[in-house]
Amino acid sequence: MPSIKEKELIDQACKNLSDKLGGSEVSSAMSRNRILDSTISVADTTFGVIAKSVVMSSNMSFTIQQAKDAHEATNLPILLVLGYVQPSIMQTMYDNGISVIDYAGNCMIKHGLLCVNVSGQKNTYRNDTKSHALSEGAIKLIYRFLSDKSFVGKAYRTISSETGLSLGSIKNTIEELTNRQFVMHTDKGRKLINEDKLLELWVQAYNQTIRPKLMLRRMSFRTDEMRSKWQEMNLPEGMLWGGDCGANLTDGYLVPGSFEIYTSKPSAMLMTTGMVMPNENGEITLYQKFWNDDNDTKVAPKLIIYADLMNSGDSRQIEAAQRLISRCAK
């Protein structure tokens, strides 16, 4: 079911489309399929609707994949109803076979004989989420909630002792998630709801806010042969493969094109392997590890790998990310 904000966007999209089509009837209806927020009927065409306040580069890949999954599940053409989107991102969506309309009526819509293209309309949409941007502490706490669904129901002091976050930060984060309809309070305690949308929110916030700050340095392999034998590199203790390599080691599907490593130790320790050297333009990127749940596999948690892959914008990496998250759900 769409939120109140999403319902407003859908109603505005119907009005804008009707105006652009000379008063033709455009109507919306609830969808029985939970993957859609609604449907919109224009003439003889019914679109499956996904509504979002904003699509930016940090959640563009996620949104494209979400639209493709929705089309595959419903066999309906998909219309993204957005509050705001940059023209270049709208074009990318359209190039991927996805119709788009924003709050102002700017749109790129095509299905069969229906073709509507409008640009240059001034968008006055106000994105309230900007005034409620998630703090770094909140992003890290949501990571714990998504990693362990029962963690949201624990006492604040327990959450604080396990995360190092203040009681005030925890309280504010849970209140914010409750207001955004991601946490429900029941007689049995708190629980996560709308987890798919929460995952999208977290991936966007993590890649936009935290990940850039975690970057430590770049390196490169000393030779092409060493690069091809990356799996033979014995990572020092405290270092874990993320991104492409983490996905490859999880299910063998993705051939790495880039090399992400998360570390809790000095990054220079990687050079003790004898296979790498400093290079500010190198294919190896080292990030500071921020979580505490260590493992013995030398592979970062699946949520971290998923966020790395979704940040790339590459179709094969997005496909690998979807495979990974599907394994998490099983």
Q: What is the pLDDT of residues 244-289, one digit of tens each?
A: 999 999 988 889 999 999 999 999 999 999 999 999 999 999 999 9
Q: Of 57-71, 271-285, 287-301, where does the model show the most confidence?
A: 271-285
Burial of 97: CB neighbours in 10 Å, binned 0-12, 13-18, 19+: middle
- Residues 105-112: contacts with CB within 8 Å, 24+ apart? 105/16, 105/17, 105/19, 105/20, 107/16, 107/17, 107/20, 109/17, 109/79, 111/45, 111/47, 111/77, 112/45
> What is the value of pTM for the model shown?
0.77
Residues in CB range of 140: below 8 A, 6 or more apart: 163, 165, 210, 290, 291
Whether residue 211 contacts residue 285, with contact meaning beta carbons closer than 8 Å, is answered with: no
* Residue-level pLDDT at 131: 43
CATH class (in words) of the domain with range 4-118: alpha beta
Q: How far apart are CA 244 and CA 328, in angstroms?
A: 17
Q: Where are the domains of the chain?
A: 4-118, 133-193, 212-329
- Unique residue bearing structure tokens 């624990």: 154
Q: How far apart are CA 50 and CA 84, in angstroms?
A: 14
Q: What is the mean pLDDT of residues 4-21?
A: 88
Neighbours of 319 (CB within 10 A): 16
244: its two tokens: 């492409």
Query: 133-193 maps to which CATH number?
Result: 1.10.10.10
201-242 confidence digits (pLDDT tens): 999 899 989 999 999 999 999 999 999 999 999 999 999 999
Q: How far apart are CA 63 and CA 56, in angstroms?
A: 9
Instruction: Tell me: pLDDT of 326 over 50.
Output: yes
Nearest to 161 by CA among 174, 153, 170: 170
* Residue-level pLDDT at 134: 87
Q: Which residues on adjacent β-strands are paired with residue 183? A: 192
Q: What is the mean pLDDT of residues 78-92?
A: 93
Nearest to 28 by CA among 56, 61, 2: 2
84: its two tokens: 């705001």
